[in-house]
Structure 1
């Protein structure tokens, strides 16, 4: 069955969410020392990286509350909304923040996303 571009995007986002979750699970396992690091093709290694972080909370309130130090940014987002009359398992509301990995599946647990994904496929 050919998917419309909107349905394909919903399917891709669901797959990306599952992959991101699995990636996080594996990375946490390596960091906790619970997983075998030697694979057939690669070896996982946990390294400590150092980076400088600007702590804006340490600035005086006079600076933090001064409007001249703030700006409003606008971001294009693609919002997928359920179609009225379509089975809720086939339609999901997904909001994607462009430029970051903050896909949010509205009011659905991981299991319901998996069920919806299986029905779309």
Structure 2
């Protein structure tokens, strides 16, 4: 039984643009973002996202499964969210204690990236209270 709640969210207006020729590094330059292959393997995580997850800027996580950032019992739900990511974003809660040791949670949003065959992942502050 999973503890995760998956919420559908409309895409933000700034994420609707045509980016057919956009460089993948430009897509993840802002915020705490990364790109995944459609199967959930990491393509690129920007330094801000790496830091929030408890890694160093030069840690190379390419090819690893993004599901490994959650506890084992939650990984199936994460894989389903990555698989279902499209124009309607999927949002999951991530407990940062698992990797960074901090007693905090963040929302992780998955949506289709503006470059074909990739999923955009973005870490956002979770609700307070």
Larger RCO (CA within 8 A; separation ≥ 6): 2
The alignment's TM-score, normalised by the length of structure 1, stands at 0.21
Hey, which of these two has a bigger chunk of helix by percent?
1
Q: Max radius of gyration: which structure?
A: 1
The alignment's TM-score, normalised by the length of structure 2, stands at 0.21
